[in-house]
Amino acid sequence: MSLFPSPFDAPSVRLATLAGLSEKLLGAGSKNEVLDLIGQALAVPEPGGDPGVLEGLANLYRGQVGPLSSVFDQVDRVGRKGIPEAWVGDTSVLASDVVKAAGRSVTQMSEAFHGSATVLLTLADAIGAAQRKDEQGRGQLLEQKQMLGGKDGFFDNLHENDDEEWDRKNAAHFGSTAVDLMHAAVSEAQEATRVAARDLNKWAAEARAGKMGTSELTAVDKLMLADTGVAGADTELNEILTAGDLERASTRMDQLSLDDETAMERMLANSDSPQERAYLMKALAAGHSVDEIGRFQDKIHGKDPDWLRRHLTPVVTAGDSMNDEGLASDGSNNNKDFVTFDGQRWIQGGDGSEGTCVASSTVTSRAMVDPLYALELTGGPDGQQDDPDAFRQRLVEEQHRLHTEGDGGENWGGMGPEGQERINDSTIGRATGSDYQRQDLDNAADRRAVLTEVERSVAEGRPVPVDVSGKEGAHAMTIIAQEGDMLQVYNPWGETTWVSEDDFINGHMGKASNSDLPNAYSVYLPR
């Protein structure tokens, strides 16, 4: 085994090499050149991976579904018998709620094992098919190499008769076709691997209770925190604590002093609802001190779950938000959901009139990951306000503050990439513990290659800013969620919608804005 990486380890290099060789073969002017090019193509490694190992893993995962079904039956029987209103766990949650959450958790676990098994089997089939296609291409190349025979000597290469020319051109033509087969094999294996990584990352992110490794909370507490969603919405699309929140909160719980740990557990135990409890932990995940969280609880304690949702969760995802309802006349999706507080949209400039798209996207992204920040905007200094006009004033002031911090343009228009990265770090990264790094996307291959990291980030609850452009200008938005091959995008025009991976890759991002802004040209990745 070589101690040094091969340049062919990257699928993108293999694809570029094979594409170039296919073209060169068609233009080869001598037998020796054809043989050299065939040799270079045969030196490109076949698509990697062992379908048998993948199938074995899939069977192992699938074998866990049966035992989980038995566990679900037991939990379901307990739930149907009726549970007295006993309080359990360090944070005093109702036993009946725990049983319901346990049932949902077992169902999700079963779906994860079954889904992961399906992903692995699909990947095994795709890798096997790609390797067979590659083998077919290599076989054809070897046939052409054998047909041409050995290389010509210096004097032989000076003259080519009609039969030799015919053989050379035939070998070049069939060799190019064979290289195209090998190129297709690498491309198909690469895409299958990307899709598998996307789906497995998503299943891993949804193994939520296991994200909390802290010993300071009971298993019951962890289960309930992971299971709690915003009021009046599909829980699976609107969990209060993301996978990243759960991990960061767990880490911070373990780092608290004994006094702070006691105070935090007391606040959790005194919470009036699962939602209040989850928002306290989200505040911990966002990096706030226990004293700050205590003042935050004083503002939200006793509020009903609907009040908490309106003030602390800017974006709520509707169950029908992914339905395809066609395009509007401006090229955007008809199916869009407004992001509002008491009727006032989370929109740049308060009414869409300003060009603070970068700052505005950043404000909303921070509010999504930090409930204290959200409450400062929605509820004002005392956290009790329900005034859309006052909210609008605070929102615009914060947009202007970040626009200035990022050295944005005059008249509240535009911001350069350095300023955008800076406010991403100081505002979003401060809450998620991430360092945002710009990545340019010059073509469809770049956009395809970055998707796995984008989707892993949003699955963990870390927003990914995306810049789009067209002939007339540019605009900043944020990718905030992923389901299957769909990406949820927040547009600081005060709305969210879903686009497909294909839309992102192939220049159809106008569905999230309008047809004048089709191309994603950069993203900012949290690392």
pLDDT tens track for 357-399: 999 999 999 999 999 999 999 999 999 999 999 999 999 999 9
Number of Cβ within 10 Å of residue 452's Cβ equals: 16
Q: Is 100 a residue whose pLDDT tops 70?
A: no
Chain centroid, CA 98 distance in Å: 30
Phi first, then psi: what are they for 489, rounded to 5°? Answer: -120, 130
Q: Is 79 a residue whose pLDDT tops 50?
A: no
Q: Please compute the mean of the pLDDT values over residues 413-433 and round it to a whole number.
A: 97
One-letter identity of residue 63: G
What is this structure's pTM?
0.81
Please tell me the distance from the alpha carbon of residue 361 to that of residue 420, in angstroms, as a whole number.
10
Residue 520, classed as helix, strand or coil, is strand
Q: Which residues have CB under 8 Å from 224's CB, separation 6+?
A: 89, 91, 93, 97, 98, 101, 274, 277
* Helix (H), strand (E) at residue 498: strand 495-500
Residue 480, classed as helix, strand or coil, is strand
The string of DSSP codes covering 48-111 is P--HHHHHHHHHHHHTTHHHHHHHHHHHHHHHHH-----EETTTTEEHHHHHHHHHHHHHHHHH
Average pLDDT, the chain: 89
Q: Please compute the mean of the pLDDT values over residues 202-229 and round it to a whole number.
A: 75
| pLDDT tens string 433-490 | 999 999 999 999 999 999 999 999 999 999 999 999 999 899 999 999 999 999 999 9
Q: Which residue has the tokens 């767990």?
A: 250
| pLDDT tens string 16-63 | 899 999 999 999 988 889 999 999 999 999 998 999 989 998 888 888
One-letter identity of residue 95: A
Please tell me the distance from the alpha carbon of residue 393 to that of residue 413, in angstroms, as a whole number.
18
| pLDDT tens string 277-328 | 999 999 999 999 999 999 999 999 999 999 999 999 999 999 999 999 999 9
pLDDT value for 88:
44
pLDDT value for 388:
97
pLDDT value for 2:
46
User: Is there a contact between 277 and 268 (Cβ–Cβ < 8 Å)?
Assistant: yes
